[in-house]
Amino acid sequence: MTYRAAVDAISQATNIVVTTHLNPDGDGIAAALALCYALRLRGKKVRFISPSPIPSIYDFLPGVATVTVLEDEAAARRKRPVDLLISCDCGDHARLGACAALPARSTLNLDHHASNDRFAAINVVDIHAASTGVVVEKLLRRLGVAMDPSLAACIYTTLVYDTGRFMHSNTTAAVFRLAAKLLDTGIDAAAINRALTYCKKPVDLAVQRLGIERLHIDREQPRLAGIALSAEDIASVGEAVEDWGELVEIPRTLAGIEVAYLLREQPQADSVRVSLRSNPPYVVGSIAQAFGGGGHLQAAGCTINGGLEEAQKALLPQLRQAAAQRGD
């Protein structure tokens, strides 16, 4: 990890593309927006190209209207080469989707996940940072970019998202010091929190109801609970859902539950998306890694090939073991 190399690469570049991972979340989106805003202030030609649409929950963020969505790999390959392609919050090259094919003379990988496989020419993977937004903030300080309300709103959003509204174990004194610095710019933290929380649509409540109906407390391991949704269950919602991520928090809210999971069978029933959560010191990150995924010790995800029943047979024994063994 070298911030100095990242500073040099950005300083030498004129045309830059910033991107994030497939199905982007609050950290990847807001970190990328902060970086684009700051680099434009320094006179760079910068575009934010996302491999998936940006959920409407983030419409309040400065600059979000300028984001381009690129889902076609062939179209990506036809783009003119840029000096630098910067990835925010992405653990491996494949997770960039079509944006992985964008031509670039050099690449920079900004992330904070320990499972990151260092796929770029320059890799700044700061595992001590609470969010990729924190990595961006550290980088911008080294670039001499002063904090202002637009930057602060984006960085604060990454903190709220990746600390679970300041409830996860990565909520440290340093996080609160940075949050205070961001609030000193005059941003309305309460308004940002409301925008990220009180934003549900009727379809989101239908999803929550479905999750509660499918909630299962494991009979063999009472510390384990989760939700398993078949492709038919998901189709029954009847509308496109922008973000399924928070559904895994429903089993986690139960008293006595230390490990939670969400399984979502894909429409063709040939793969299952998995979201895992745990309370310290219980660990789920290594389980996600074993299935080719990644993330943090207590928050991780992966995709398992096969149908829902196959995924449950493969995953649940490992989750039971995780719930039985403290990670400390």
Instruction: Report pLDDT digits (tens) over 75-125.
Output: 999 999 999 999 999 999 999 999 999 999 999 999 999 899 999 999 999
**Residue 317 belongs to a domain with what CATH number?**
3.10.310.30
pLDDT in tens, 123-180: 999 999 999 999 999 999 999 999 999 999 999 999 999 999 999 989 999 999 999 9
Q: Cα–Cα distance between 315 and 299 in angstroms, integer?
A: 15
Q: Of 18, 44, 6, nearest to 102 (Cα)?
A: 18
Last residue of a domain, one of 177, 197, 217: 197
Q: Give residue 132's domain range.
A: 3-197
Do 70 and 158 share a structural domain?
yes
147 and 250 co-located in one domain = no
Give me the pLDDT at residue 1, please: 60
Distances (CA, A) of 92 to 96, 120, 222: 7, 9, 34
Shared domain check, 157 and 47: yes
First to last CA, the chain: 27
CA atoms of 19 and 100, how far apart (whole Å):
9
C-beta separation of 123 from 97 below 8 A: no
Residues 221 and 172 placed together within one structural domain of the fold: no
User: Residue 56: how many CB atoms within 10 A of its CB?
Assistant: 12
- Of the candidates 125, 187, 180, 111, the one whose C-alpha atom is nearest the C-alpha of residue 151 is 187
CATH of the domain at 156: 3.90.1640.10
Last residue of a domain, one of 182, 197, 212: 197
* 223 and 318 in a common domain: yes
pLDDT digit string, tens, across residues 242-289 = 778 789 999 999 999 999 999 999 998 899 999 999 999 999 999 999
Tokens describing residue 14 = 């004129």
**Torsion angle in degrees (nearest 10) through CA of 306, 308, 309, 310:** 30
Residue 168 shares a structural domain with residue 240: no
Specify whether 46 is located in the same domain as 174.
yes
Q: How many CA atoms lie within 13 A of 300 on its CB side?
A: 28
Q: In which region does residue 257 sit, left (phi positive, over 0), alpha (psi from -120 to 50) or beta (all else)?
A: beta
Q: Within this chain, do residues 130 and 245 fall inside the same structural domain, yes or no?
A: no
Tell me the C-alpha distance between 21 and 35, whole Å. 15
Tracing tokens 């096969």 back to the chain, one arrives at 306
Pair 174, 29 in one domain: yes
Give me the number of domains the chain comprises: 2
Q: Which amino acid is at 143?
A: L
- What percent of the chain is helix, strand and coil (3-state, nearest 5)? 45, 20, 40
Task: Choose the weakest-confidence range: 84-93, 151-160, 291-300, 311-320.
Answer: 291-300
Q: Are 134 and 167 in contact (CB under 8 A)?
A: no
Question: Do residues 175 and 163 touch, judged by C-beta distance below 8 A?
Answer: yes
To the nearest whole number, what is the mean pLDDT of the chain?
95
